[in-house]
Structure 1
């Protein structure tokens, strides 16, 4: 290969890396602007503080914003520096894992809240209190953090101190290398997927039956059913993260010269696109939230109209 060709390939690689980083950073800015708008709308209106479903929703929005910020930062740093300090990488990996696991479990909690609201409306206010909602959020973090924090303890026990001062390409398998951790991870992935999947199926079918049996408020039940169906779509997209490592290996074996492109496409499909559904489901699709969102971020002059509409029934 002559020097001209070599320089062209280097320049082409740099250009491709720049374009990829620009795209993911642009997507991060757009999504975080949307998420920031939703959080600001929630914080500025006390009416949302007393509704468990909006508390769970805004928790998921904040969680997704953290997850995207961490993973995209790691993505860009890996392109710029390639090898990253193990201690630094370990922190980023754990935060990304915790927040990634949080989303499907939070979706299950939101589906259960909608199930109670439709199938047992007389006891909804008694069961779904604000205090219990925050306890549920704490429980969500507990069940998502505890299984994976053990990876850190095992690595600390088995790896020498010098390992944490070295630099590696920052992926989970390069940090938590013990084979036992891989089997444990697969077992918990299967457990999480099964529990969340059956929770969504159960709540969806229960609300579907309730909608058929209701002589009144059928529209509300149908909207709740559609919301949980969207949760199911979002869950399936989030669950792609559980099979993406295997899919990566298969695709890389088929197209060994396209490793970076495969990982880039996988990152967009598995980690970024599912996070665009959350603002759509509750931020744009929900009438109540949309009115307040429009009030602060689209047309502030319609504040009187918003106040007039506050008495309307809220969308499920």
Structure 2
């Protein structure tokens, strides 16, 4: 560790930058801790009332929260282990890579499914109850995990066919790039990510256009509800964009690593905050604060039921 820090010091030429990097580490830990606490509170609220875990959009919301918690824990651990140059056996690194790779895709795919749910609710209201039942929501979550596992499976199949059993007992600093053994494998992984990006963008744009048409034709309360659904789709699109940019970050970081190590460290922390933490703090905003029913339940449970109001009483009577 001392040798590693000394090398860093010699590379940047001063102690102030070392302290700055440590400040970055502390900042990331604080942000991760805050987001995890908020997500755990939201997950607890979700399971407190049966209305939430029998409604499709809240089921998808809970799926994103669980996915975000897992990816934050695993990626933050990997980031710290990489920063402090802590080695581990490759079989353990393989498990962590599998989880991070899978849930990197689960969140954007779930966001796409949530956008489709809003499209069905607004543009096909008569079929919403049939298409978005609790059973179909659970089936959809299985499909989401199946689709999200495809990029990881492609990488791992090539990896398993290329290494010997002794490789899994080696101690190394864990990183995603260790499982990319061939240049064509990197191109294939990039092509799959871009294909997912294209399909998700098409779905988002299609849903936006259709909801926009309904919003213009609606009137009164329907118009208000439709425009709220349209704003939700826009937020999903922005959140999805940040998540999809994250899929390209390993390629950018690997290229920068070949140029300058300290620039690589700074870019990696910037990417983690902007494209991993930021989109995952939007989920609580979209459904934790903007959704009236969930916000009322969250406020009630956060205050341990000491504060109640008429809106909350109406919510309990109508659901």
Per the TM superposition, whether the score is higher than 0.5 is: yes
TM-score (norm 2): 0.89
Partner Cα distance (1:312, 1:233) in 2:
35
2:225 maps to 1:228? no
Q: Cα distance, 1:32 vs. partner?
A: 0.6
Q: Cα distance, 1:16 vs. partner?
A: 4.3
The residue number in structure 2 matching 1:206 is: 210
Compared with structure 1, are the counterparts of its residues 214 and 263 closer, same or farther at alpha carbon in structure 2 (3 Å cutoff)? same
Partner Cα distance (1:167, 1:264) in 2:
24
The residue number in structure 2 matching 1:278 is: 283
Give CA deviations for 1:74-127 in whole Å, capped at 9, x if unaligned: 111222234332222111111111001011110110011110110111111111
The residue number in structure 2 matching 1:135 is: 139
The residue number in structure 2 matching 1:292 is: 297
The residue number in structure 2 matching 1:175 is: 179
Segments of structure 1 that go 5 or more residues without pairing to the other structure are 1-5
The residue number in structure 2 matching 1:79 is: 83
Q: Cα distance, 1:158 vs. partner?
A: 1.3
Q: Cα distance, 1:203 vs. partner?
A: 0.5
Compared with structure 1, are the counterparts of its residues 16 and 169 closer, same or farther at alpha carbon in structure 2 (3 Å cutoff)? farther
Partner Cα distance (1:99, 1:48) in 2:
23
TM-score (norm 1): 0.89
Q: Which moved more, 1:64-73 or 1:301-310?
A: 301-310
Partner Cα distance (1:241, 1:98) in 2:
13
* 1:51 and 1:130 in contact (8 A); partners too: yes
Partner Cα distance (1:180, 1:259) in 2:
23
1:51-90 pair list within 5 angstroms: 51-90=55-94
Q: Cα distance, 1:69 vs. partner?
A: 0.5
The residue number in structure 1 matching 2:123 is: 119
Compared with structure 1, are the counterparts of its residues 13 and 80 closer, same or farther at alpha carbon in structure 2 (3 Å cutoff)? farther
Partner Cα distance (1:304, 1:268) in 2:
37
The residue number in structure 1 matching 2:3 is: none
Partner Cα distance (2:26, 2:58) in 1:
33
* 1:17 and 1:79 in contact (8 A); partners too: no
Partner Cα distance (1:96, 1:190) in 2:
18
SS at structure 1 position matched to 2:308: helix
- Over aligned residues, Cα RMSD in angstroms? 2.5
Q: Which moved more, 1:21-30 or 1:305-314?
A: 305-314
Partner Cα distance (1:78, 1:46) in 2:
42
Partner Cα distance (2:77, 2:196) in 1:
26
Q: Cα distance, 1:254 vs. partner?
A: 7.0
Structure 2 residue corresponding to 1:261, chosen from 239, 247, 266: 266
SS at structure 2 position matched to 1:300: coil
* 2:75 and 2:100 in contact (8 A); partners too: yes
Compared with structure 1, are the counterparts of its residues 312 and 213 closer, same or farther at alpha carbon in structure 2 (3 Å cutoff)? farther
1:12-27 pair list within 5 angstroms: 15-27=19-31
2:53 maps to 1:49? yes
Partner Cα distance (1:136, 1:203) in 2:
18
The residue number in structure 2 matching 1:3 is: none
* 2:88 and 2:174 in contact (8 A); partners too: yes
* 2:104 and 2:247 in contact (8 A); partners too: no
Q: Cα distance, 1:304 vs. partner?
A: 5.0
Q: Which moved more, 1:67-76 or 1:251-260?
A: 251-260
Q: Which moved more, 1:124-133 or 1:264-273?
A: 264-273
Q: Cα distance, 1:311 vs. partner?
A: 7.0
Partner Cα distance (1:262, 1:158) in 2:
31
